[in-house]
Amino acid sequence: MGGAKTDLELIKNGKRIDGRKFDELRPIKIEVGVLKRADGSCFLEWGKNKVLAAVYGPRECFPRHTQNSYKAKLTYRYNMAPFSVDDRKRPGPDRRSTEISKVSREALEKVVFLEYFPRTAINVFTEVLQADAGTRCVALTAASVALADAGIPMRDIIVACAAGKVEDEIVLDLCQEEDNFGSADLPIAISPRTGQIHLMQMDGILDEEEFKKAFDMATKGCLEVHEMQKKALKEKYEKIGEVYGNE
């Protein structure tokens, strides 16, 4: 962010650098239950992003003294593989991953029925295998599906999406180049059923009008992605039903 200078033509003839319309999402593919060991999992491809989310729990909470007698302890770890970005990233958490982990966990805390599982832990892990802008939204969207796959009770399947400003235009779902050279980025996560906001961050500059426009656009994007989340979850089990026939 910060509107660095570039020779790239980010917007040309009403189309973006990757050919998309202003309110168009990148292509998305969602796979449910892809890991053997995890209790729930989801692999999400979103544009060139590739993210794997997994859930363990509810399980015994260690160390014991961190247990909460009234509800489950939710943890969320966002991590990037060293080869996921252009300049190899040293393994291990950095300040950015720590911040993303925190706000993502907070997005889920009021959605998961934590009070049903006192003294336990629910651990969410997301690994970015290939990054191309918007990874925190991809990761949280995948984590939501993984939680549902694990059978963890929730009020809704939350979904995340970002909108931003590129060369005076408000656009949906920034890609890498737009993120590098754009002037604002607004990632949000909502509960599609209620419209309530569970995650919101912004960096860059937007006036009130622009903010509203970006927020509306991101919300629409979220609802579109949510349909795909539901479809992926239902399809996994509907397929099994087809194979074994009907009465």
Q: Per-residue contact track with another protein, 135 to 154, x per CB under 8 A?
A: -------------xxxxxxx
Q: Write the CB contacts of 45 (distance below 8 Å, at least 6 apart in sequence).
A: 27, 28, 29, 30
Q: Which is nearer to another protein, 96 or 193 (CB)?
A: 193
Minimum distance between the CB of residue 159 and another protein, rounded to whole angstroms? Answer: 11
Give CA separation, 61 vs 36, 65, 73, 146, 148, in Å: 22, 9, 8, 20, 20
Other beta carbons less than 10 A from residue 187's beta carbon = 24
Q: Binding to another protein by residue 195, rule CB under 8 A? A: no
Minimum distance between the CB of residue 138 and another protein, rounded to whole angstroms? Answer: 15
Q: Write the CB contacts of 147 (distance below 8 Å, at least 6 apart in sequence).
A: 40, 55, 108, 112, 122, 124, 154, 157
Q: Binding to another protein by residue 230, rule CB under 8 A? A: yes
Angle at 46 between CA 229 and CA 121, to 5 degrees: 55
Q: Segment contacting another protein (CB under 8 A): 5-13, 18-26, 91-99, 180-188?
A: 91-99
Q: Binding to another protein by residue 29, rule CB under 8 A? A: no
Q: Per-residue contact track with another protein, 31 to 70, x per CB under 8 A?
A: ----xxxxxxx------x-x-xxx-xxxxx--------xx
Q: How far apart are CA 101 and CA 125, in angstroms?
A: 9
Q: Binding to another protein by residue 17, rule CB under 8 A? A: no
Note the residues at the interface with another protein (CB under 8 A). Answer: 35-41, 48, 50, 52-54, 56-60, 69-70, 77, 79, 81-88, 91-93, 113, 117-120, 123, 125-127, 129-132, 148-157, 191-194, 230, 233-234, 237-238, 240-241, 244-247
